[in-house]
Amino acid sequence: MSSMRSKDDPRRQGVGRRPAWGLLLCCCLVLSACGTPEEVAAPVLPADPVSSLRQALMDVEPGGVVEIPEGRFEVDRGLSLSVSGVTIRGAGRDRSVLAFDNQRSGADGLLVTADDVTLEGFAVENARGDAIKVSGCRNIVMRDLRAEWTGGPSSENGAYGLYPVQCEGVLIEDSVAIGASDAGIYVGQSTDIIVRRNQASYNVAGIEIENSVRADVYANDVQHNTGGILVFDLPGLPMQGGGEVRVFRNRVVGNNTPNFAPEGNIVATVPAGTGILVSANRDVEIFANDMDDHGTAAVFVMSYLITGRPFEDADYDPYPLRIHVYGNAFGRSGHAPDAEPLAMLREATGRDLPPLLWDGFTGDTDAPVVCAHGNSDPTSVSLDAPGGFEAPAFAADAFACSLPSLSGVSEAGAGVAVPWE
């Protein structure tokens, strides 16, 4: 990724970083004076490890490492980091847990507003707002993290699990997001993004790329959300014109959880049973995904206009364009559509809807909206949403065209190894 540091850079590996010793909560003491050299004491924690952690986040210097020891720690106020070049490191996403069940203040669990930061090996549970938010940063690495609301899907849960926004250079890998009332893994208004080898379950949106440019989303396991993977472009945001997004080699299965987003939220319009949803985005490549069991559609391409929401942003283009869908295994889909016009269409035809849906809205262009080929099921339907769904068009070759492949942020392609194989 052009704006990310190389894998050999010490900032990426933690080499040469100085631990913030006032914050190094887990110190093992060798009892050489009290027993054999092999005897090691249990970790000794400060009387108030959370206060020590909070102080360390304030005191750490660039290049420092803040360690979170193994254990579950109750945190009642949001944490923050504003120092660049820092690593926050735990013992593992299921071993170092920051629990915000009784959070009294702060909009987020952890807020980061600094560049060249690595977050790895810890969990944030039950944050009042977003779990881990990174805002306005360059070169952020989020690895082996877990953001979870442990009570199951609820509109009372926080909106976002892992949440970088307005960033340049984002890597999210080997992490877990569960129970977010908007998106488990969300990257918004950012550039040069890799989201790989993550698990997202029981969120409204498993993974969402919004108003962002140049993103690779691959080798993720996305199951039991309302919508699996969303690629959106929305009006009224500082960064417009999202695109150049590749979604490939993901396992996207059984995303039929009823939508539990708070009323008025844009993702509250996402139909349950949607595998991959593209809205008003351009140059999106969807290929080599393993998909199955989606009540509404495996892939749904739509305009922002289908939401019926007005917008006043003169720079906003509400139409999708050049969506390239190929080489995907769709599995079963369209058997329980979660939208009245789609349910009526299924009832009228007496058959499941095709795996690929397009709402039918077009802008003033001759470029193709969708090109599709080489998928396990070639059928599709143009829904005629502009005409009130009066004349939907079913076809096996309606989108029979091809588009040039995108260059991508990473070197990964259809042959990349995935964790479940």
* pLDDT number for residue 241: 87
Lowest mean pLDDT among 1-10, 212-221, 306-315: 1-10
- Tell me the CA end-to-end span of the chain in Å, nearest whole number: 26
Give the pair of three-digit tokens for residue 413.
């392609």
**Regarding predicted confidence, which is higher, 25 or 251?**
251
The predicted model scores a pTM of 0.89
* pLDDT number for residue 45: 57
Nearest of 192, 195, 147 to residue 174 by alpha carbon: 195
Task: Give 51's strand partners.
Answer: none
* Mean pLDDT, rounded, for 237-253: 94
* pLDDT number for residue 37: 41
In angstroms, the CA 295 to CA 179 distance is: 20
* pLDDT number for residue 396: 84
* Mean pLDDT, rounded, for 290-302: 98
Tens-place pLDDT, residues 173-206:
999 999 999 999 999 999 999 999 999 999 999 9
Name, in order, each residue with C-beta under 8 angstroms of 56's C-beta and a sequence gap of 6 or more.
Answer: 20, 22, 23, 24, 66
* pLDDT number for residue 266: 93
Q: How confident is the model at residue 217 (pLDDT cuts 50, 70, 90)?
A: very high
The enclosing H or E element of 413 equals: none
Q: How confident is the model at residue 23 (pLDDT cuts 50, 70, 90)?
A: very low
In angstroms, the CA 254 to CA 273 distance is: 7
* pLDDT number for residue 46: 64
Assign domain 149-395 one CATH number from 2.60.210.10, 2.40.420.20, 2.160.20.10, 3.10.20.740: 2.160.20.10
Q: Are strands 380-382 and 393-395 parallel, antiparallel or unpaired?
A: antiparallel
Tens-place pLDDT, residues 125-172:
999 999 999 999 999 999 999 999 999 999 999 999 999 999 999 999
Q: How far is CA 271 from CA 226, 250, 341, in A?
A: 7, 20, 12
The full set of domain ranges for the chain reads 149-395
